[in-house]
Amino acid sequence: MGKGRRMIKQGMPAPLDESKVTRKRKDAPPAPEAPIKKRKTVTKAPKKSAKPNGAEAGGRSKAKPVKKVAPKPPSDDEVSFSDDESDGDLENGMDGVNVTGLDALGSASESEDLDELEADDFGGSDDDVMDSDEELKKGKMWSDDEDDDEIEEKLTAANIEGLSRKLDMERAIEEAEAQAELEEAQMQTNIAGDRPKVLEDDEDEQGRPITNLETQDLQLLRTRLSDTIRVLDDFKNLGEEGRSRAEYRAQMLKDICAYYGYSHFLADKLLDLFPAREAFAFFEANETPRPIVIRTNTLRSHRRELAQSLINRGVQLEPVGKWSKVGLQIFDAQVPLGATPEYLAGHYILQAASSFLPVMALAPQEHERVLDMAAAPGGKTTHIAALMKNTGCVFANDASKDRAKGLIGNIHRLGVKNTVVCNYSALEFPKVMGGFDRVLLDAPCSGTGVIAKDASVKTNKTEQDFMKLPHLQKQLVLAAIDSVDHASKTGGYIVYSTCSVTLEENEQVVQYALNKRPNVKLVDTGLVFGKEGFTRIGGKIFHPSMKMTRRYYPHSYNVDGFFVAKFKKFGPTPANAVLAQGVAGNNKSQSNGAQSSNGTQQEGEIVDNAPIVDDENEDETDDFGGFDDEEDQMYMDRAERAKLRRKGQNPKASAPANGHAKSSPKKEQSKETKSKNDKVDARDVAPAVVVEEKKVTEKKIKAKKPVAGDDAAAVVVTEKVTEKVKKPSKKVNGSSTAAETKPVKKSGKRKST
Ligand SMILES: C[S@@+](CC[C@H](N)C(=O)[O-])C[C@H]1O[C@@H](n2cnc3c(N)ncnc32)[C@H](O)[C@@H]1O
């Protein structure tokens, strides 16, 4: 038995061991009161145990140590949003999609329910809790960005005292729980090596096994679950004769539904992701809340100063882990964390640890232009702005006007000054604006990674949701890719993230993007922990580079379930992208594509088409088949003439600087002898040409739907907005394309010097 999950450090844990899986607290014996150094703030009272699915565990009367109630903070993402937010706000394809109560969306967000702060979660004192003086003196607790020499004991002394008292108390509770569990296991579990009798012999008239086990008998259900897992772990030796693995798996599925209260459909989907034992750990971890974490807002404070202030207010905390320089894990708070003076002054934001990860992967740089496509309530936007030190420009967009209000609130509270809030469906990008150095798409999702926070996900997700949501996510990820400037000097990156663990919303979406956009490739996220994305699972095969994506699970890292993928865009968006989608799957190479193991293509995984091309061998093929050399040359020549005119020279009198004669020598070249390099030049030069055509206009950045009165005014700025330049139709592969648009360089771009 381990310590309560709220005490387990977030980040890389020890390998999974069932004995360490948090026991359901309903099973916990009454807390031994005597050995505990009782603190005034911790009240103990017997509490009725509850079924994991939320129902009362009938008749079971085991008491458990009762929670210390911390005042609930006005969770930053909940304050301003109504649950009944109209779907009309979520345009384009969101209708009828059962997105996890948007309040819980983005584990992301800061919706930890502080009422959950229970005393019995503060257990344990295992090694990974850094609380010793030794470590403190070595300066291990505070991150590299802080001056180690200044990690004074005075900062931590109060904290340590409180922590160690709590640890003593929790250790006693955990030991009692562990002992009870051991005794129970000895009584009820088959002795290792025996073949457990798990499957029922009796069958009903239709030949289905009759389950005699009362589903209400949680204890027996749990025992059977653990026996089933033991058999599945060692089927050869422990499986009953004449029984198949599938039968055991079916039994496990049934028991999981009964024990944890999942729909059959969702439990089946989640079970498919893991080996049996790990699946059990996953379901189990979803029954306990993740630790409360705050992110220091470095625009207004330093982590050390913030920690000191909160410790002075009686908050027990420590750095979230070495992987973050700004996170603080809260173990106990005697003040409402959402109403401290530090909170109100914007020194921190309540934010789940996993929500740091996409922004860390995005790694925005100072002076860049960054788009956060689905930004509300702004946990990640404000993190991005802080990393950029309020320089450059962040466009924080959300389709929900109500949620955008919360986003604006957070932006103001945290002192963010480089951000423009907009209210579009992200599907409208890059039409609204393009050419970003980096884009974050923290996509709307089913929330299967945040079940601990929103248990309704267990039952309210339907098969339709897992069709509609991925469909939207796929469209959004293409919009994200198309909004990035592949030629950005500092960036050219797209990060896609969800707080879901399903394949449909993660690897399949990423694979779809790879298939549809051969001008992107997956790159390392730079995150120091996380499991590799799947390259092969359940008959599905994904591109080998998928292992560069990262998966996070509650049972592995004690963080919300999460997925992070990082793309690098290395070529312009194919002019014929839309056409390519139309004819997808017909032909050509599968270099980015996925195939099922039997070689058949699967929906959303396969499609196209053009091969991936590295920057280096861009000259090998015209990947997108959409460049018209003559037309490009015309633009280049026109740009050259305009440039000369600007310099006061007569373009007719002098030859263009690039050596092309006015009449374009390219026209004289035969198609066969055209250099492929010319095409690359054309791509590079084309945007500048458009600038010459003065198609960039000065506009008010569209807070199309004004979002929040006075607040909105503060974040709406005047910017130069990209406009599209209509290009004439042209032939691609012999067929006429629709009139295409060409992204235009924005002269308003504020670049790093
Ligand atoms: C996971 S939440 C974003 C959390 C946010 N990134 C944060 O860290 O606070 C997903 C968001 O997507 C928004 N959304 C849903 N559909 C959208 C669309 N088509 N375009 C833009 N935003 C959308 C929802 O309103 C929701 O706020």
Domain ranges of the chain: 70-100+352-625+701-753, 196-285, 628-694
Note if 499 is an active site residue. yes
Class of the CATH-defined domain 70-100+352-625+701-753: alpha beta
DSSP-based three-state secondary structure for 566: strand
Q: Which of 424, 473, 426 lies closest to 447, judged by CA?
A: 473
Does the beta carbon of 406 lie inside 6 Å of ligand 1?
no
Pocket test for ligand 1, best of 370, 398, 505 (most atoms within 8 A of CB): 398
Structure tokens at 626: 């959409």
Query: In 512-577, where do the E strands start and end?
Result: 520-523, 531-532, 536-537, 540-541, 550-552, 562-569
List the beta bridge partners of residue 740: 727
How many angstroms does the Cα of residue 408 sit away from the middle of ligand 1? 14
Rounded CA-CA distance 561/357 in Å is 11
Nearest C-alpha to atom 5 of ligand 1 is from which residue? 375
Backbone φ/ψ region at 367: left (φ over 0), alpha (ψ -120 to 50), beta? left
φ and ψ at residue 475, rounded to 5 degrees: -65, -40
Residue of 257, 393, 422, 499 marked catalytic: 499
* Residue for token pair 């009686």: 314
Q: From the CB of 90, is ligand 1 less than 6 Å away?
A: yes
| Cα 277 from chain centroid (whole Å) | 25
Structure tokens at 231: 């058999």
Atom of ligand 1 nearest to the CA of 90: 16
Q: 136 C-alpha vs ligand 1 centroid, how far in Å? A: 39
pLDDT score of 664:
38
Helix (H, G, I), strand (E, B) or coil at 542: coil
For residue 495, how far is its CA from the centre of ligand 1 (angstroms)?
14
Kindly state if the Cβ of 444 falls inside 6 Å of ligand 1. Answer: yes
| CA 528 / ligand 1 centre spacing (Å) | 26
The response to whether residue 515 sits with its C-beta less than 6 Å from ligand 1 reads no
Contact, 99 vs 438, CB < 8 A?
no
**689 phi and psi angles, rounded to 5 deg:** -60, -40
| Predicted pLDDT of residue 199 | 74
Closest CA to 342 of 304, 364, 309, 318: 309
Pairing of strands 438-442, 493-498: parallel
Amino acid at 477: V
Q: Phi then psi for 327, rounded to 5 degrees?
A: -90, 145
Q: Do residues 114 and 292 touch, judged by C-beta distance below 8 A?
A: yes
The ligand 1 atom at the shortest distance from the C-alpha of residue 373 is 21
Side-chain-side CA neighbours of residue 65 (13 Å):
25
DSSP labels, 616-680 = TTTTS--TTS---HHHHHHHHHHHHHHHHHHTT--TTTS--TTS--TT-HHHHS-GGG--HHHHH
Q: Which atom of ligand 1 is nearest to the CA of 440?
A: 6
ipTM over the 0.95 cut-off: yes
Contact 198, 243 (CB under 8 A): no
- Binding positions: 374-380, 398, 442
CB 328 within 8 A of CB 305: no
Please name which of 378, 379, 360, 362 lies closest in space to residue 370, comparing C-alpha atoms. 362
Task: List Cα–Cα distances, 687 to 32, 439, 556, 694, in angstroms.
Answer: 72, 20, 47, 11
Q: Are 127 and 3 in contact (CB under 8 A)?
A: no
Helical packing angle, 676-692 and 629-646, nearest 10°: 50
Using alpha carbons, list the distances in angstroms from residue 415 to 36, 78, 355, 631.
Answer: 43, 20, 20, 48
pLDDT of amino acid 5 = 60
Beta bridge mates, 419: 394
571 touches ligand 1 (CB under 6 Å): no
Token pair for 507? 């690897």
Q: At how many degrees (to 10) do helices 245-260 and 218-233 cross?
A: 150
Of ligand 1's listed atoms, the one at least distance from the Cα of 383 is 8
Is residue 108 in contact with ligand 1, taking CB distance under 6 Å?
Answer: yes
Helix (DSSP H) and strand (DSSP E) numbers for the chain = 21, 21
Quote the pLDDT of residue 574: 73
Instruction: State whether the beta carbon of 377 lies less than 6 angstroms from ligand 1.
Output: yes
In 452-539, alpha helices (H): 457-460, 465-482, 507-516
Contact 106 CB / ligand 1 (< 6 Å): yes
Q: What is the pLDDT of residue 639?
A: 72
Cis peptide before 515 (omega within 30 of 0): no
Distance from the alpha carbon of residue 327 to the mean position of ligand 1, in angstroms: 23
Centre of ligand 1 from the C-alpha of residue 358, in Å: 14
Alpha-carbon distance of 204 to 210, in angstroms, equals: 6
Q: Give the pair of three-digit tokens for residue 684.
A: 């590079």
Q: Per the omega criterion (within 30 degrees of 0), is the bond before 15 cis?
A: no
Contact 511, 504 (CB under 8 A): no
> Going by CA atoms, what residue is nearest to atom 15 of ligand 1?
444
Ligand 1: nearest atom to the Cα of 426? 20
How many Å apart are CA 710 and CA 705, to the nearest integer? 14
Binding residues for S-adenosyl-L-methionine: 374-380, 398, 442
Compute the distance between CA of residue 213 and CA of residue 224 in angstroms, rounded to an integer: 9
Indicate if ligand 1 lies below 6 Å from the C-beta of 425.
yes
Query: What spacing in Å lies between the alpha carbon of 164 and ligand 1's midpoint?
Result: 40
CA–CA separation, 461 vs 459, rounded Å? 6
Distance, CA of 400 to CA of 376 (rounded, Å): 8
Q: What is the pLDDT of residues 396-413, one digit of tens each?
A: 999 999 999 999 999 999
Residues of the chain with pLDDT under 50: 1-2, 13-93, 101-140, 143-146, 148-149, 151-155, 214, 578-591, 593-628, 655-753
Residue 67 is given by DSSP the state: P
| 3-class DSSP state of 119 | helix
Distance of CA 216 to the CA centre of its chain: 36
Q: 398: Cβ below 6 Å to ligand 1?
A: yes
**Is the Cβ atom of 355 under 6 angstroms away from ligand 1?**
yes
Residues 233 and 195: beta-carbon distance below 8 Å = no
Tokens at 353, concatenated: 């640890």
Looking from the CA of residue 102, the nearest atom of ligand 1 is: 26
**CA 376 to centroid of ligand 1, rounded, Å:** 6
**Cα gap 367→443, rounded to integer Å:** 25
Q: Are 328 and 8 in contact (CB under 8 A)?
A: no
Q: How far is the CA of 400 from the centre of ligand 1 (A)?
A: 8
Identify each DSSP E strand in 538-671 by its residue range: 540-541, 550-552, 562-569
Q: Is 698 helix (H, G, I), strand (E, B) or coil?
A: strand
Among 92, 89, 739, which Cα is nearest to 474's?
Answer: 92
Out of 98, 105, 410, 475, mutate this one to test ligand 1's pocket (max ligand atoms within 8 Å of CB): namely 105
Q: At residue 147, what is the residue type?
A: D
In angstroms, the CA 83 to CA 499 distance is 19
**CA–CA–CA angle 625, 606, 439 (5° rounding):** 70
Q: Is the CB of 358 under 6 A from ligand 1?
A: no
- What are the E-state strand segments in 573-713? 697-700
Instruction: Looking at the CA of residue 93, tell me the nearest atom of ligand 1.
Output: 19
Are 704 and 422 in contact by the 8 Å Cβ rule? The answer is: yes
Report yes or no: 399 and 424 within 8 Å, Cβ to Cβ: yes
